[in-house]
Amino acid sequence: MSSTHGNTIDFDSAKLKLSQGTTRSAPAKPAAGRPTPVAAVLQRLSHLLQTSLELERVLEMFFQELAHNLAVDGMEYRNDGRRFQTKFGQSATHRCSYRITHGGEYLGDLQFSRQKRFSEAQLEALETFIGSLLYPLRNAILYHEAVSSALNDSLTNTGNRLAFNQALDREVQLSIRHRTPLSLLVVDIDHFKQINDRFGHAYGDEALKAMASCTHHCLRSVDSLFRLGGEEFVVLLNNTDLTAAQIVAERIRRAIEEMQFEVDGQPISMTVSLGAVMRHPEETSRDLIDRCDKLMYQAKQAGRNQVML
């Protein structure tokens, strides 16, 4: 038999629960001033959770304390509004979940699981511990948003050039370490200037967003799309050889060619030219992107709407 417990914890009520939980847990006559177990955990959590602003790290430290003190086997955090999800430990039979809010603002959903059913006392302790998570969680979310914003192209909702440079350097190192293939696509919209000149930059922006969305739907969840600037985009394909990269490039080319894009009800045709490369041994990040960029320009010179390897 499995059991499920659900609840919503508001920021202000959680602060009240935190203070009440500490008071209720204290014995009438503390032995030599030593804190009770719950108070000790709260004190440790209060210190630990303020040592990092990384959302993943904050949640990991919180789970480790729960695993040690409440025998929690698994924890999952979801924040669909911010497209963030992470799991720790192993999912088990008995679960309890909490929707975390603050002043009407959604901070995420937490689900905990363990092999044995949660007792009422354990649920009460768990909710008290959640109270110590809320301030660090809110701060970590704000930090996560700030970092994401700095690495995001707001128009197309893709990574920007800074994000691409960081991701490419990281993937090159992983490719070297694990001896796995790494491929790259450079994608450029054909005759994009004509769209801007004929319909205006507002419609040009809509064309960029449509192209980015169409490309996203052609990729795996592990692939990454970045906008380098103007109408030029880059796709990073980890653990992908040149044959597979060509298949992805052709899928993107066909999808954009067949895309139904309209301006004031008037259909506008759109095509792209692509360069596709796989990293050579000893090739640097800069050499890789330069080689792929040159192939994209060769595709344009050869007539556009094609992939050049």
CATH number for position 92: 3.30.450
Is residue 94 within 8 A of residue 74, CB to CB? The reply is: no
Name the band, by pLDDT with cuts 50, 70 and 90, for residue 21: very low
Asked if 117 and 176 sit in the same domain, the reply is no
4 pLDDT more than 80: no
In a shared domain, residues 19 and 67 = yes
Indicate the SS3 state at residue 27: coil
User: How far is Cα 15 from Cα 202, in angstroms, rounded to an integer?
Assistant: 47
Mean pLDDT of 142-152: 86
Residue numbers of the domain that contains 270: 154-308
pLDDT value, residue 233: 98
Q: Model's pTM, two decimal places?
A: 0.64
Q: Which residues are catalytic?
A: 231
Matching residue, tokens 């009770």: 36
The per-residue pLDDT for 112 is 96
Of 150, 172, 196, the domain-final residue: 150
Q: What is the pLDDT of residue 6?
A: 60
The reply to whether 162 and 119 lie within a common domain is no
Q: Is the pLDDT of residue 109 over 50?
A: yes
Cα 261 from Cα 49, distance rounded (Å): 48
Note whether 21 and 117 are same-domain residues. yes
Is 186 found in the same domain as 274?
yes
**Domain shared by 143 and 229, yes or no:** no
CA dihedral 250, 289, 216, 248 (to 10 degrees): 20
Tokens read off for 306: 């094609």
Q: What is the DSSP letter of 88?
A: E
The H or E element spanning position 66 is helix 55-70
pLDDT, mean of residues 284-309 = 97
Burial (CB count <10 Å: 0-12, 13-18, 19+), residue 158: buried
Alpha-carbon gap, residue 261 to 268, rounded angstroms: 6
Q: How many domains does the chain have?
A: 2
Q: What whole-number percentage of the chain has pLDDT above 90?
A: 71
Element (H, E) at 136: helix 120-150
pLDDT tens-digit profile of 60-91? 999 999 999 999 999 999 998 877 899 999 99
> Residue 162 belongs to a domain with what CATH number?
3.30.70.270
Report residue 102: phi and psi, to 5°. -145, 110
Domain boundary among 134, 150, 166: 150
Residue 230 CA to residue 151 CA, distance in Å, equals 16
Is the domain of 200 the same as that of 140? no
Q: Please tell me whether residues 142 and 161 are part of one structural domain.
A: no
Which band of pLDDT confidence, cut at 50, 70 and 90, is reported for residue 268?
confident
What percent of the chain has a predicted confidence (pLDDT) above 70?
88
- What pLDDT score was predicted for residue 34? 45
